[in-house]
Chain A
Amino acid sequence: MTAVRIELTLRQAPPLRVDLRGLLPATLADLTVAQIEQLPCGHGNHSVPLGEWFSVQRHEIDGDQSALRLVGDCSRFDRIGTGLQAGQLTVEGPAGDYVGAGMTGGELLVQGDAGLLAACEMAGGRLQVQGSVGDWAASALPGGMDGMRGGSFIVGGDAGERFGDRMRRGTAVIHGRAGDLLASRMVAGTIAVAGPVGARPGYGMRRGSLVLAGPACTPGPTFVPAIADVPVAWQLLARSLARHGGAFATLAQRRMQRHLGDLSAQGKGELILVEP
């Protein structure tokens, strides 16, 4: 089977922010180079053809998954991979806001940092940001009721504030530090952080697991320490997280202390503090 690999190389940085929604591997696979160059992109109040910013190369490759590569500093390009359903999308450099928003499948790799609201309302697939992400990652779109609701989201660097706000399902892993109000209003799912976290982790969480593998922190007053061990569930979770390597590799061998809460919400969540 043949698929298509499309490479878009940034020629010049746009003066304003550019909206790249709809630029997906499967969508571009059926288009010629000329057609791709003519695709309209929102730039400020205007619509500008994609060719204005990128040079386009198209290759036929073996396999059944089409691929799209964006090469260059894309930090002014928003909504990269929004609604991605299948295929591979790689950004060789930083990405703008809303990267991977609402994606339901496929793989998205950002080899630099990402802006605000990365992976917001993500429902499936795998999003990896090798750098850091801004505020409100894995959360809900403004006005949305549910945040991330499926798939895997891996952050190689740090995360901003309100990471995982209203998150409902899926797994999010942060290898660096996380900002204030991590997992605020979390409905369910799993968030694991290797580094230190900011103020009030798990604020208002109803259910879900928040694994803090970094320096010790004091849970908020609306969390209660659990006296019972849950070795089975912990082993299942820790072994799964261990595959992300780094500080998570030894999770299954480390002791942990659970805190239950947030009692101001439903109180069925768990804040897991992993001992060094």
Chain B
Amino acid sequence: MTAQHNGVVIDVSFAEAFPMKATRILITAHNATWAMNAAVSATGFATSVIACGCEAGVERTLGPDETPDGRPGVSVLIFSMSGKELAKQIERRVGQCVLTCPTTAVYAGIAEGEAVALGRNLRFFGDGWQISKVIDGVRYWRVPVMDGEFVAQETTAVTKAVGGGNLLFMATDVDAALAVSEAAVAAMKRLPNVVMPFPGGVVRSGSKVGSKYASLSASTNDAYCPTLYGLVDKTQITPDTRCVMEVVIDGLTEADVAAAMKAGIQAGISIGRAGGLVRIGAGNYGGKLGPFHFHLHKLLP
């Protein structure tokens, strides 16, 4: 059974998501541009845990009144499959992308949860000139650098999170699929506690589990490839759906991912069949891989 909204078919399907570990860090700088430079760099090459080690993205920009030091900032969410891997990614990314970026400082954006190192090990860059400062029970490290001081909170907190929420937009052509995906990502970005880790929030290489090659655990989702229409047995492609884009969502809680998916579905429906959107579906593995199931029909406006 399917439902149509503004001419768009909503599949009777669900997105299957899985537990992850996450943290939020706040990056501030002399101005918003340099805070964003650091954030973009720190969240680069972080699209999928399959090969990046983590999935990360910019959550939102922060005004001077929202940051610990009164400067403009950016909040960043980083997700990984284990706390240990997450700790490794935080250290590498903050060390190489935030410590190095002019005028930045970095703070924990989550208070509750297991503490992992943020500035604790980066302080050794100071070669003995680093200074510890405990303010209101929170330890900060002040590391001398060539533009002054790099200030980093000693630890950040790791919390349980949900990764792999997704929507599949099936459209008449590339223009329509991009327009819908961009609108959905824009709607999701207005919500807190979620990031869409792929380039521009959109992924065109949706995958299925397994491959004909033994060494690969995932391979192209041939059922959604328009170039394989007429070649594969169980295709999801029809003559009027010639381009499919996926938006993947990682969030701090199940409710956050659900809210983002709801906003994405709403954005797609608003564009409607007239805008080229034919179907909205979701990726799952039969319900066996992840404990979080986001049924599209329960998310309808």
Q: B132 at interface (Cβ–Cβ under 8 A)?
A: yes
- Pair A236/B151 contact, Cβ less than 8 Å: yes
B132 x A233 contact (CB < 8 A)? no
| B residues less than 8 Å from A236 (CB atoms) | 68-69, 133, 135, 140, 151
In the complex, which residues of chain A have a beta carbon less than 8 angstroms from the beta carbon of B151?
232-233, 236
A188 to B132: give the CA distance in the assembly, Å. 9
- Report the interface size for chain B: residues with CB under 8 A from the other chain: 18
Chain B facing A: main interface SS: strand
- A230 close to B149 (CB less than 8 A): yes
Q: Is the CB of A232 within 8 A of B133?
A: no
Residues of A within 8 A of B70 (CB): 235, 239, 252
Residues from chain B with a CB closer than 8 A to the CB of A1 are none
- Taken residue by residue from 203 to 236, chain A's Cβ proximity to chain B (1 for < 8 Å, 0 otherwise) reads as 0000101000000000000000000111111011
Q: How long is the Cα–Cα vector from A15 to B262 in the complex, in angstroms?
A: 78
The answer to whether B133 touches A209, judged by C-beta atoms less than 8 angstroms apart, is yes
Q: Does A5 sit within 8 A of B, measured CB to CB?
A: no
A189 / chain B contacts, CB cutoff of 8 Å: 134
A232 engages B69 (CB within 8 Å): yes
Q: Say whether B131 faces chain A, with CB atoms less than 8 Å apart.
A: yes
Please measure, in the bound complex, the distance between the C-alpha atom of A30 and the C-alpha atom of B240, giving whole angstroms.
80
Chain A residues with Cβ below 8 Å from B105 are 232
Cβ-based interface call for A57 (8 A) = no
Q: Are B71 and A232 in contact (CB under 8 A)?
A: yes
Within B38-79, the residues touching A (CB, 8 Å) are: 68-71
Total residues of chain A contacting the partner, CB 8 A: 21
Shortest Cβ distance from residue B109 to the other chain A in the assembled complex, whole angstroms: 16
Tell me if A79 counts as interface (CB < 8 A to partner B): no
B142: which of A170, A230, A252 is its contact (CB, 8 Å)?
A: A230
Q: Nearest chain A CB to B267's CB is how many angstroms away?
A: 38
Contact A235/B131 with A229-B148, A240-B136 known, Cβ cut-off 8 Å: no
Distance (whole angstroms) from the CB of B151 to the closest CB of chain A: 4
In the assembled complex, which residues on chain B have CB atoms less than 8 Å from the CB atom of A170? 134
> Which of A169, A188, A232, A252 has a CB less than 8 Å from the CB of B149?
A232
Chain A residues touching B, majority SS: mixed
Query: Cβ of A268 < 8 Å from any Cβ of B?
Result: yes
B133 touches A233 (CB 8 A): yes
Contacts of A207 in B (CB 8 A): 131
Which A residues touch B134, using CB under 8 A? 169-170, 189
**Chain A residue at minimum C-beta to C-beta distance from B153:** A236
A10 at the interface (CB under 8 A from B): no
Q: Which of chain A's residues has its CB closest to B130's CB? A: A268
A159 to B132, CA, bound (A): 26
A231 to chain B, nearest CB (A): 8
CA–CA, A170 and B135, complex, Å: 8
Q: Report if A265 contacts B (CB, 8 A).
A: no
**What is B's interface to A at a CB cutoff of 8 Å?**
28, 68-71, 105, 129, 131-136, 140, 142, 148-149, 151
Q: A189-B134, A236-B69 are in contact. List 6 more A-B contacts (CB 8 A).
A: A188-B132, A230-B148, A233-B133, A233-B149, A235-B70, A237-B135
20 A-B Cβ contacts within 8 A?
A169-B134, A171-B135, A189-B134, A190-B133, A207-B131, A209-B133, A228-B148, A230-B148, A231-B71, A232-B28, A232-B105, A235-B69, A236-B69, A236-B135, A236-B140, A239-B70, A240-B135, A240-B136, A252-B70, A268-B129
6 closest A-B pairs (Cβ-Cβ)? A232-B151, A235-B69, A232-B105, A240-B135, A232-B69, A230-B149
